[in-house]
Amino acid sequence: MKLGTKLSTVMPLLSLVVLLSGCGGGKPPDPTFGRTPTPSPTPTGQNSVSNWQFSTMSTVGMPPLTISGSIIKTQGSVTGALHVNGSSCFDQLTTIALTGSVTGGNISLSSTSVAGQIVTVTGIITNLAVTYSAGQFTGTYSITGGCASGDQGNVTGVKIPYIANLLNGTFTDSGGGTFSLSGDVAQDASASSAGSFGVSGKATLDTSCFGSGTITAGTFPSGSFILGTSVALEIDTSNGMIVFVGTWDMNQGLISGNYTVSGGTCDQTGAAILVASSPWDYGP
């Protein structure tokens, strides 16, 4: 063997560690432990699917909007399945289908008619076809027809990381009681027709109330999924269903929200904070 030979191994890792308020500090995710989501998405290439969150700023005095969902790139064509929140003109439960094209970093999308409204988005997007890299969007939007006709302005967007791997933490109910959870989760690589991504896995809970549970993948607005920065987890146990609903703050690295337990003898409510990391944190 020649001296000076250098071996370099790159292993993208995902880890997700749950930490809830009430127990003080927490242990950060271990970047040496984890597994790739199943099925594994292609890291780079002509075709890709990713989860995005957009925010608008109207230049004509309309309320800001949050737009979230999936964007799929197939060669030079792009499709989206998105939901609008923050507008009295759009029902958040309605999936808005968009189609368009991308050339280099330039992207243009236009929606089908939703209650007579057509949404057009144009701008510059980065890393659309690179799964394990952060992506951003900057551009403009306009709405013609229907209730929101004439609204236009600037829009920014960010690609949301995958949720996967080790899951640990403590649930704290409204009375101060706690129970711990450990398990493993994986996010679907493909988006549903509603633009959400299912999340599934197994969980073990150190309480006689629940024992173990199954995290069942779903589609917005039910089951376990991620849509933009919105995260929902349903943990089915032999003594009730644990439902967590939260929001991912990527600047803080936290998914914070509330949970409820119903359908058993240990029904309760409480708050939770999840600490998440992604393979983007361990890039070259």
Mean of all residue pLDDT scores within the chain: 82
The average pLDDT across 222-242 equals 95
Over residues 53-96, the pLDDT tens digits come to: 999 999 999 999 999 999 999 988 999 999 999 999 999 999 99
Over residues 154-197, the pLDDT tens digits come to: 999 999 988 877 677 788 999 999 988 877 888 999 999 999 99
pLDDT band at residue 241 under the 50/70/90 scheme: very high
> Which region among 10-19, 39-48, 230-239 has the lowest average model confidence (pLDDT)?
10-19
| Secondary structure E strands in the chain | 16-18, 47-58, 66-74, 77-85, 96-103, 106-111, 118-125, 136-144, 152-160, 164-173, 178-187, 197-205, 212-215, 225-227, 230-237, 240-249, 254-262, 268-276
Q: Inform me whether the pLDDT recorded for 5 exceeds 60.
A: no
pLDDT band at residue 34 under the 50/70/90 scheme: very low
pLDDT band at residue 24 under the 50/70/90 scheme: very low
d(CA 130, CA 42): 8
For the domain spanning 16-37+162-279, the CATH number is 2.40.128
pLDDT band at residue 38 under the 50/70/90 scheme: very low
Q: Which CATH class is domain 47-160?
A: mainly beta
pLDDT band at residue 10 under the 50/70/90 scheme: very low
**pLDDT for res 43:** 40
Is the model's pTM score more than 0.85? no
List the chain domain ranges. Answer: 16-37+162-279, 47-160
